[in-house]
Structure formats: C-alpha cells, structure tokens
A and B are shown apart, each in its own frame.
Chain A
Amino acid sequence: MARVEVESEVAGSVWKLVAKPGATLAAGDPILILESMKMEIPVETPVAGRLLELCVTEEDPVEEGQVVAILES
C-alpha cells in the first residue's frame, strides 16, 4: 500500500467533484474537473487505487502542482 498524492497539472478552479472518498478507481479515472482557461479539465488518477481524501472543494482555486487528492494504491 502506498499513498499517492495527485497533483493538478494546471492552475484553475474546481468546477465539479466527480469521485467520492472511499471510491475504488482505475488509472485514468477522473477524480474532479477543473475549470481552466474556460475549459473543463479533468484531474485523473495516475494509478489504480482507493480515493482516501479530496483536498479541495467545488469553486476552490487550484495552483499548478497543488495536491488535490490522496490515493492509496
């Protein structure tokens, strides 16, 4: 079991949370969707695992490289 921090690759704001803590996700599944440059940009799981924590809520501003979720892989 390893804790994996999921970072946002772009700056923007949280438009919609997609996955709930406790959910089992496959690599590439969306965790949340950011609004950045007027586009809906999904933040996807880099590896398969269980979603432990969402570190942001809807409408939160997000910086490039910010940890937005924590997975257990």
Chain B
Amino acid sequence: MSWQDEADEIRRRRQHALAQGGPAGIGRQHEQGRLTVRERVERLLDTGSFREFGRATATPEYGPDGDLQGYSPANYVLGMGRVDGRRVVVGGEDFTLKGGSPNAAGLRKSVYAEHLAVQHRLPLIRLLEGGGGSVRGSGRPGGTVGEPVHTEPRFRIIAEALGQIPVVSAALGAVAGFPAGRLVASHFSVMVRERSQVMAGGPALVERALGRPVTKEELGGHAVHIRSGVVDNLAEDEDDALLQMRRFLSYLPASVWELPPRLSCDDPVDRCEDALLEAVPRNRRQPFDMRRIMKLVVDSDSFFELSRGYGRDQIAALARLAGQPVMLLGNDCKFYAGAMSAAGAQKVRRYIELADTFHLPVVNFVDEPGFMIGPKAEAEGTIRYGMAAVSAAATATVPWASVQVHKTFGVAGAAHYGPDAYLLLWPSAESGALPVEGGVAVAYRKELAAAEDPEALRGQLETELRAGRSPFPRAESFSAHEIIDPRETRPFLCEWVEWIQTRLATLPGPVRFSFRP
C-alpha cells in the first residue's frame, strides 16, 4: 500500500490554491484593471524564486460522512522569494476570494507574515488589497467571544518588525481597517493612481457615522493621502508600485543586524559639476532647485525621493555616494522658503529614524530659514513636531554630513546637524538666530520707530549684519570643517564616505529608539 491517494489529494489541493476565486473572481479583478495577488507576486520576485507557505491552508466544507464537499483556499498568499537576488518575505490578500476581507485561514497566514520575516531577519513586502474585519459570523450565541487573555497582542510583532527588518507595503486596491493600518506601519508605502484608496473606514461606515455620502476616491484617494503623508509615494500603475518597492529595498540591509549594501560605483568620485557654482542665486529673493543640486552631487541615477507630496518644505531621498547608500535630507525653498512646517518636521523626524534604524549615513543639504511661523503654523503645533525632529537629529547614531548650501536659522536649523557632523560650508551659506530681515525688525524696533527714515536705517542695519554672516568668518573660527567651492561637494562627500566605513561597521544591531509609524 502506497500513499498515492494522499499524494493525489495534495496535488489537487495545490491546484485549488492556484485557482484562487475561480474564473469569475479573477475576471472581475482584471475587469477593474487590477492584477491578482499571484500575478503581483510573480511580477515582483525574481523568476522562479517563490516558495509558498501553506498552499493547503483553506476553509474546507465536509459532508456528514466526512467527505470533502467544498474547498475555499485561504485568501492570503504568503511565502519567500528573491528580489534582485536578495531573499525577502512576501504576502498579500487574494481579492478574488471574499473581497480580501480575511477568512479564518487567510487571517492566520497574514498574521504570520511579520513573524516569518522577523524570524529569518528578512525584509517584508506586503501587497495589500481589501478590508478589515467583518461583523458577519460574530456574536453568535454559545460560541467563545474575543481572544483568550493569554494571547500575545497581535500588533506587537507589527511594531517590533519596524525596529528589526525593512517593511514595505503597497496599496493595490481599496485598503481599509487593519490592512490600512498595516500599510502605514511600514518604512515605505506606495499607492497606485486612481486604483488605490486608503481609509480607516470606508464610505458605508462614514455615511452611517457622519451622515455624509462620500466616494472611496474622495475619502482616501491619492489626492488625499499623498498630501496627508499616510502614503509615501504615488505609482502610475501596479508595475511602477512593485518597482518602487524593489528600489527602496535596494538601499537597505536585510535587517538591522546588517549594513546597507554598498555597490561598486562607475560615477567618478572626483566629478565636479560646474553648474553647482551658480546653483544658488546671489539675489536672496530668488528660489533655487535643491533637488537638482542633490542629483548633481550623488551617484548618477541614484536619487530616489520619498514622501514628495508631504511636508513639502523638506526633501527626503535615498541615494548613493561612491556606492554607499545614504539618507539625503534638505530644504525646498520653493515651498515657503523651506521653513520647517509641522508636516515637514514629522517627515524629517521619521526619515532620521529610518536612517538610524538601518545605519544609513545622513547627508543633509541645508537651507533652513527656521520653523514656519504664523497663525496656521501655530494651530498645527509646529514647534512640538519641530522639536521632535531636532531631538531625532541630536541623538542620531549614524555618521552625518551637512552641506550648508544657504540658510541655517533658528532652532529648526538644529534638525539638520547630527552629533559629530562633518560640516561643509558653501560661499552662499548664512546662519544665525534669525534671518536678517525679521531679526532687524525685532531687535531694532525702537531705533526704527524713532528714525527719520526707517527704511534707510533698516537697509543699513541689514547690510551691516549680513556682512557679519558671511561664511568666511565662520571658516576662520573653525566653526566648520571646511568652506568649499560648491563644485567640490561630491569629491569631499565621497572622501567622507571612505572615512566613515570603520564607524559604520560598529553599528549593526537594533537602535535604542527605532522607527515608528
């Protein structure tokens, strides 16, 4: 007697799993312009690298004689595979089955995803689509209610994962409730234009609670959540979303116990770009393009921006210098002069913590006029979030280089300089407690009020004070490591990357204060 019957049954059940929600469910998914979870996994991973877990996990229906009458696969697909040759854990809801809302078997697999990735110290990729829990089937008399008191909190592993392994998530359809929470509990999240919506609660809940009809797109489309900061990046289609997740992971180690992977670099480390010499206008009223400056300095084609639509006064990007992955931070003076808003401060805090968690050196291109001021900024609590950003910088553990491109003023300026920062000044650098214009109005209020020609006095004072803010006296006083020709920025930073290698090697392991959503 062999086990041939059982072997046949195993094969049959695997075919059931691959059949997902059947032709109707798959057809519905395609009609709506979306891929199935299995198609997503196939496109995400290196060809043939997927090793699935729990293909036989399902909700079976047995007849009175114990014969299998119906069989619904778990609506969560989970496994390991490779991305650009590096091993990862991947999981995602199967929306062709029961609308992605977890069935019992699917829930077990989805909850296990974080455990699996943490256990093996591998990045976790979540392909999210679907809603959260349902009242259907709950509250029936006679059954057990709630989780046993000895159950480990389900969200602990989600929180702990953020301090141990890279977690990246894509919203690839409507995502609400628990899946929306998972999306946000990530180091990087992405949504697809007009195909994804993200909501704590969907339109039916909103109408019931608030009496207001609203569409999914109005509630949680990209126009809302790329600005709210709930989702980091926007993708044009699903392939773009998968590509952005792969790209994000390429800068990060597999876990906090490793270092970010340094690549070989074809871009000459001594490349000097003439355009940098005139990148900052002499006319202080004219804005300039900080992203262009950053791109001219880092390794060619290595600039990958994060959260561009949120906290737009600040710029955050991953990039490489001499092949070394780095966290780039900086100010965008085209948006309120780059003054740090409540949102901008939260963005800076979050990305400093990302850098700390995964041992990414920080390179900061500074043009900070100070915290945003005015009634709106006060109502948003700017100074509180601002101090969180300053605290994150002040306690950072990673090597840090700051290039003072233009302004550094006020307390907000401190959010751009980590401990022991390598400090380079451009000739356009100016710094102080307050920008000269506002500072003169405050410090010389009485003199200006008494002057015969207040405007002439204001101009004279501003000119005198500005002369004192030239970077040359600071260089003379060794308040920076070097004042440089802007064209020398890349060679200086690439040389610094070599110096920091020994210190980086001491960093692997969890940090004292790691990443939170």
Contacts and interface: CB of A to CB of B under 8 A. Distances in A.
A24 interface: no
A9 B335 contact: yes
B508 interface: no
A38 B339 contact: no
Contacts of B369: 37
Interface in B287-343: 287, 312, 333-337, 339
B286 interface: yes
Contacts of B336: 10, 36-37
Contacts of A35: 285
A37 B337 contact: yes
A51 interface: no
B164 to A, nearest CB: 38
B437 A39 contact: no
Contacts of A41: 287, 334
Nearest to B288: A39
Interface string B465-508: 00000000000000000000000000000000000000000000
Contacts of A36: 336-337
Contacts of B334: 41
Which of A35, A39, A40 has the most chain B CB within a 10 Å cutoff?
A: A39
A40 B287 contact: yes
Interface string A16-40: 0000000000000000000111111
B314 to A, nearest CB: 15
A38 B335 contact: no
A10 B341 CA distance: 13
A58 B19 CA distance: 64
A8 to B, nearest CB: 11
A41 B285 CA distance: 9
A37 B286 contact: no
Interface in B222-246: none
A10 B369 CA distance: 16
Most buried by A among B335, B336, B337, B437: B336
Interface string B431-459: 00001010000000000000000000000
A38 B339 CA distance: 12
Interface string B196-237: 000000000000000000000000000000000000000000
Contacts of B339: 37
A10 B335 contact: yes
A23 B337 CA distance: 29
Contacts of B312: 9
A35 B334 CA distance: 11
Given A10-B335, A10-B336, A38 B286 contact: no
Nearest to A15: B285
Interface in B335-354: 335-337, 339
Nearest to B372: A37
A5 B336 CA distance: 22
A57 B6 CA distance: 80
A9 B337 CA distance: 12
A40 B335 contact: no
Interface string B412-441: 000000000000000000000001010000
B286 A40 contact: yes
B410 to A, nearest CB: 13
Contacts of B435: 38
A46 to B, nearest CB: 14
B496 to A, nearest CB: 31
A-B pairs, top 8 by smallest CB distance, nearest first, are A37-B337, A40-B285, A37-B336, A39-B337, A39-B287, A39-B285, A40-B286, A10-B336
26 contacts: A9-B312, A9-B335, A10-B335, A10-B336, A35-B285, A36-B336, A36-B337, A37-B336, A37-B337, A37-B339, A37-B369, A38-B284, A38-B285, A38-B337, A38-B435, A38-B437, A39-B285, A39-B286, A39-B287, A39-B333, A39-B337, A40-B285, A40-B286, A40-B287, A41-B287, A41-B334
Interface of A: 9-10, 35-41
